Amino acid sequence: MADLREHFGALAVEGIRSLQPYAPGKPVAELEREYGVSNIIKLASNENPLGPSAEAIKACQACLDELELYPDGNGFALKQTLAEQYSLDMNRITLGNGSNDILEFIARVFLAPGLNAVFSEHAFAVYPLVSMAAGARLNIARPNTRDHAMPYGHDLAAMRSLVDRDTRVIFIANPNNPTGTWIDADSLEAFIADVPPHVIVVVDEAYVEYVTEEDYPDSIPWLQKYPNLVITRTFSKVHGLAGLRIGYAFSHPEITDLLNRVRQPFNTNAMAQAAALASLGDPDHVKKSIESNSTGMARICRAFDDMGLEYIPSVGNFISFTTALPGDEVYEKLLRQGIIIRPVSNYGLADYLRVTIGSTEQNDRFLHALKVITGSGK
């Protein structure tokens, strides 16, 4: 049997053989099985603690009588509403099974053996996964230094220095996961303007709704100026629809056409489309989610300051921090108290941990447990 398994591995294409699967945050049910704990809170996957809009739930319920029908493979109604909201033509919009789906489309269309993708060292784990699966080389840029205003964030000069004639895609997360750092409008546009036209610049804005900084870019108008720009967004975060898996991208119509050529038929299901559409029609829920996140982020940052903990300033709905104890030890002790957060050593940030901003009760419970574990705080 071992020889057979080795044979299968040899049959796989080279990029796949060296891949390590994406490791999601630990599910609640798994922790219950392993540790026998209850009353678990999950603050590991940057989910919205308020959940989805009530209107989105109603839209899902309305779909139950039509589950035997295929969804609209073109997602017309959702794309039409997105086009109206952002003053874009519908032929600039691609729908995905989460924005991760669209990242894979981009890799499949533009990357291949002999070509390369550029991204920052501590950027979203999916960028190397989709690039390697396409057989492309990884040009990984050094990040900002620890003492930078955006610690471990994107160093655009370092990224630009890695762009060559074989580069086809640059991935930029703004804000970045897991650091929560971000790039201001002037810096990012100057970078995009300087990139050769044969390179697709993907600006991943999964957490865009949470950002309140005045000089954070409004990237949508740039689509008219830079035909090689692709902007990806998701309904998983502020809209609270992570379980339904739906995201979208804006790009030049020719890029949209290419992405749709590799998109699987019916890649976004009917319930996801309906919920996303309803969410766009409920801006009050989005506003409430943003306010809840801002309050929770301020609360956690104050507590970290009181505890003397180092953390990376974040504009997402999560924050990464480190303690005097090994990160794995803190993570394990929190698990035993029914609190799931996320180690980010797989992102190259040894001993850092990432915690999602939760509800008031969840944040308080996490902070109390952390103070006990680390023996810090006033």
> Are 115 and 74 members of one domain?
yes
Residue 181 lies in a domain: yes
Domain-located, residue 316 = yes
Q: Is residue 139 part of a domain?
A: yes
d(C-alpha 107, C-alpha 136), whole Å:
9
pLDDT 10s digits, 41-85: 999 999 999 999 999 999 999 999 999 999 999 999 999 999 999
**Same domain, residue pair 109 and 244:** yes
Same domain, 77 and 221: yes
Question: What whole-number distance in Å separates Cα of residue 115 and Cα of residue 133?
Answer: 12
| Domains held by the chain: number | 2
Q: Residue 16: inside a domain, yes or no?
A: no
Residues 291 and 171 in one domain: no
Domain boundary, last residue among 251, 281, 311: 281
Residues 39 and 75 in one domain: no
Q: Write down the pLDDT at residue 3.
A: 61
Which of 281, 298, 330 is at the close of a domain?
281
Structure token digits, residue 14: 């080279």
For residues 150 and 273, membership in a common domain is answered with yes
Residue 11 is assigned to a structural domain of this protein: no
* 263 and 359 in a common domain: no
Residue 246 belongs to a domain:
yes
Pure H helices in the chain: 2-11, 14-17, 28-35, 54-62, 76-86, 99-110, 126-133, 156-161, 185-194, 253-262, 270-280, 283-307, 327-336, 360-374
Kindly report the CATH number assigned to the domain that includes residue 33. 3.90.1150.10
Contact 169, 117 (CB under 8 A): yes
Same domain, 182 and 117: yes
Q: Are residues 244 and 333 in the same domain?
A: no
Judgement on whether residues 40 and 84 belong to the same structural domain of the protein = no
pLDDT in tens, 183-217: 999 999 999 999 999 999 999 999 999 999 999 99
Q: Are residues 36 and 181 in the same domain?
A: no
| Chain-centre distance for alpha carbon 190 | 24
**Under a CB-based contact definition with an 8 Å cutoff, are residues 325 and 334 in contact?**
no
CATH number at residue 274: 3.40.640.10
The answer to whether position 8 is within a domain reads no
337: tokens are 């108290």
Do 182 and 242 reside in the same domain of the chain? yes
Low-confidence stretches of the chain (pLDDT beneath 70): 1-6, 8-9, 11, 17, 19, 22-23, 377-378
Q: Which of 247, 281, 315 is the last residue of a domain?
A: 281
pTM of the model: 0.93
Query: What single DSSP character describes residue 299?
Result: H
134: domain range? 54-281
Residue 331 in contact with residue 19, Cβ under 8 Å?
Answer: no
Whether 17 is covered by a domain: the verdict is no
